[in-house]
Chains A and B, each alone.
Chain A
């Protein structure tokens, strides 16, 4: 609240002891957090990392004294600045929330009310809790927008959430959390949904703001390189238990627990780049537009060699996904043509033959929305078998089990519903559905970006195996350079609907770079705690 009342940096602010939290599922209570201790001093930043389901968010929310519906705090004490939160009443806790403890959610787009202006939402908690009057709060908000390096801080608050970009919205949300000068902010994966180029700006702005106001923070993420930039200490969680906690530099250089070591070595997939002159897919001079006016692709030409992986990289809005829509026929191009196996594909989906549709399959980013929640795994995988290959009855069942085996899942998954699967399992089922059609080309649209690193690695290895065993061709759309390095043969860099360059992986990833490629590559966080500072210094100097 008041800066004067604050203690010195390093005084203990939050002390959580032996936290046990249960969650209700499958008709019984399960332990989600199994006796974790956490201690945080003023002005310190603690990084919480682990794969999904590790209990990161649950623990983060517990630091506010909040448990999600369907969960309960069974034991443990949460001392926040001399106040016991585990036994505090709802009104007592509500007085703390939004004033002394703030929360920044992963999806700012979902957390803002689309019907109110940004500034009204930013000042709401300060005004409601009578910390400031409205005029002061507005002035404060504007200074925070400036601190977060938002463009036009004087006026940006008068826009609605849909009128600013995702990165700006995430920064506005951090400004909202900062508005009442809280003692503690909980960041729950605040940059996971952003492009790398945007992520750098948001990280820098958040770090400056935390330092400036001497705020303590818990930073929840599954991205090690990001946490390395933000945190003073790192705590690794798995299955609700603490694996290891250490000061950031020590943790990065000398991880002790085998699980931590495995996290550190995840980006280990390497594949030598190969090329081929036998092109399975050629896109020639394609222009595409949504509606009549908005042209999103300009003279795009891409060649995809058979049995290889071509990665299309670029930030959001660069035309990557639109290119995929042109290939699949969802968006007929205005000009240019798509050749498959040397034959021109009809531009419209409806004019394509069943065989043409069968040869090109697609895997989506969000496995959640790519599977019908009311169909079982067998129905999802079995439909392409019926539809393209005319398999029925026992033959269909046998093939489904064979496909499940191929994606390293067992027969017990046969009649599960998507809601009974984890994120990685869902994506595997989507892969099985694409493979079931026995296609020649699979378009992977950001297939790993919604997944944790260890799960990502599993999926990428599976895709490489499929390519090796069946000679499949992949077009891999992504903004994650680490993934690109791991699995691609060729890289296409796109920016604002144009192809910046295309070539072999090694050629694209080594200098000299065109300007945009350089910006994109330099924005990928590295596992060096000084990376962000160095990058910012370098960019300021340049």
Chain B
């Protein structure tokens, strides 16, 4: 054999590459992100900042009723006051904190519960899988709104009760999705490698399987997060959701909806009830922009050139 033609693995690489760290990879990805993703990221960051610093940003407390009802825009109250004289702008800011906080906590909890049980079911594929799957079937067979109403009237409508109950009802869908996508990953050789190495169940779940099923889970996260708003708004409408005086965008729409009728007298006043609705809409769009970008990036779909 001629000397020059022997195989060399290093020669397979066209040019020697520098090591790139994880952080650098993320930055490269961000730089390539489309404008919609940037828009989404910025909007979410602003919402996040507003939610965290709500007490500093808001001119008044969310429960302060010491003003006249239905005051117009301007004149000390940027967006006027609501039906019992609370500053609308302050309530909008606190609403970010309460609504996003509750929605985020609910979605995270449902993913934690549904996701880990789904993974466990997919890996074990024995009686644990059977018991969990049938339990989820039973839960899904009951209309979720009625089930939530029943549970809330038994345990009372505290914020934490609300979070836990919606999270558990939502986690059934997360369980099904996680189990289905994990089943394709558990059969891979690298999972077998980990088991042969003697890794514990938790490690296999967290390090081997989870990173590979993340894309569909993230997409579901974006959707679930948006749906939780609706569920909370529906429950609030029925009087078992977020309890007054806590500001929440869903109930703010309902409480001030009647102002829309007075549009021909005060156009700004009529817009007021639409603002919390717009806040929900903008956040939903922003979250889904980011999720879309993430999905596109991880699904391996190439852009047309």
Contacts and interface: CB of A to CB of B under 8 A. Distances in A.
B196 A330 contact: yes
Interface string B285-305: 000000000000000001001
B136 to A, nearest CB: 27
Nearest to B191: A372
Interface stretch (B7-15, B63-71, B119-127, B253-261): B7-15
Interface string A350-384: 00101001000110101001111111000000011
B197 A387 contact: yes
Interface stretch (A86-94, A405-413, A527-535): A405-413
Nearest to A361: B196
Contacts of B207: 372, 375
A53 to B, nearest CB: 9
Interface string B13-29: 10011111110000000
Given A374-B211, A410-B10, A410-B16, A24 B305 contact: yes
B196 A362 contact: yes
Interface residues of A, number: 51
B83 interface: no
Interface stretch (A41-49, A193-201, A453-461, A499-507): A453-461
A387 B208 CA distance: 15
A370 B189 contact: yes
A455 B7 contact: yes
Given A362-B196, A408-B10, A424-B12, A258 B2 contact: yes
B1 interface: yes
Contacts of A364: 189, 193
A357 B9 contact: no
B195 to A, nearest CB: 7
A495 interface: no
A139 interface: no
A329 B195 CA distance: 10
A454 B7 contact: yes
B302 A69 contact: yes
Interface residues of B, number: 34
Given A261-B2, A412-B17, A372 B208 contact: yes
Interface in B17-55: 17-22
B9 A409 contact: yes
Contacts of B19: 411-412, 414-415
Interface in B180-203: 188-190, 192-193, 195-199
A268 B197 contact: no
B199 A372 contact: no
A72 B305 CA distance: 9
A328 B193 CA distance: 11
A259 interface: yes
Q: Which of B16, B20, B192, B196 has the most CB of A within 10 A?
A: B196
Nearest to B199: A387
A433 B192 CA distance: 14
Contact of B189 (A369, A383, A416, A454): A369
A70 B196 contact: no
Contacts of A366: 189
B193 A370 contact: yes
A265 interface: yes
Contact of A408 (B8, B197, B199, B211): B8
Given A349-B195, A414-B19, A370 B190 contact: yes
A182 B211 CA distance: 46
Nearest to A412: B17
Interface in B204-231: 207-208, 211-212
B5 A259 contact: yes
B4 interface: yes
Contacts of A349: 195-196
B6 interface: yes
B1 A268 contact: yes
A422 interface: yes
B4 A258 contact: yes
A163 interface: no
Contact of A458 (B9, B13, B193, B208): B9
Contacts of B198: 352, 354, 357, 387
B123 to A, nearest CB: 14
B5 A262 contact: yes
Contact of A422 (B4, B5, B12, B212): B12
Nearest to B214: A374
Contacts of A457: 7
A259 B211 CA distance: 42
Nearest to B212: A374
A107 interface: no
Given A24-B305, A369-B188, A372-B211, A415 B20 contact: yes
Contact of B9 (A72, A261, A369, A428): A428
B1 A262 contact: yes
A388 B199 CA distance: 11
Q: Which of A69, A372, A414, A416 has the most CB of B within 10 A?
A: A372
Contact of A383 (B4, B13, B22, B197): B197
A438 to B, nearest CB: 13
B13 A412 contact: yes
A330 B192 contact: yes
Contacts of B188: 369
Contacts of B195: 330, 349
Given A262-B5, A422-B12, A372 B196 contact: no
A425 interface: yes
B1 A384 contact: no
A412 to B, nearest CB: 5
Q: Which of B198, B207, B208 has the most CB of A within 10 A?
A: B198
Nearest to A24: B305
Contact of A357 (B2, B8, B196): B196
Contacts of A415: 19-22
Contact of A258 (B5, B192, B302): B5
Interface in A249-284: 258-259, 261-262, 265, 268
B189 A265 contact: no
Contacts of A328: 196
18 contacts: A24-B305, A258-B2, A258-B4, A328-B196, A349-B196, A364-B193, A369-B188, A369-B189, A372-B190, A372-B208, A372-B212, A407-B9, A408-B8, A412-B17, A412-B19, A414-B19, A455-B7, A457-B7
Given A329-B196, A362-B193, A387-B199, 6 more contacts: A370-B190, A374-B212, A408-B8, A424-B7, A428-B9, A458-B7
Sorted nearest first, the 10 A-B pairs with minimum C-beta distance are A374-B211, A262-B5, A458-B7, A370-B189, A369-B189, A357-B198, A372-B190, A412-B17, A258-B2, A364-B189
Interface of A: 24, 69-70, 72, 258-259, 261-262, 265, 268, 328-330, 349, 352, 354, 357, 361-362, 364, 366, 369-375, 383-384, 387-388, 407-412, 414-416, 422, 424-425, 428, 433, 437, 454-455, 457-458
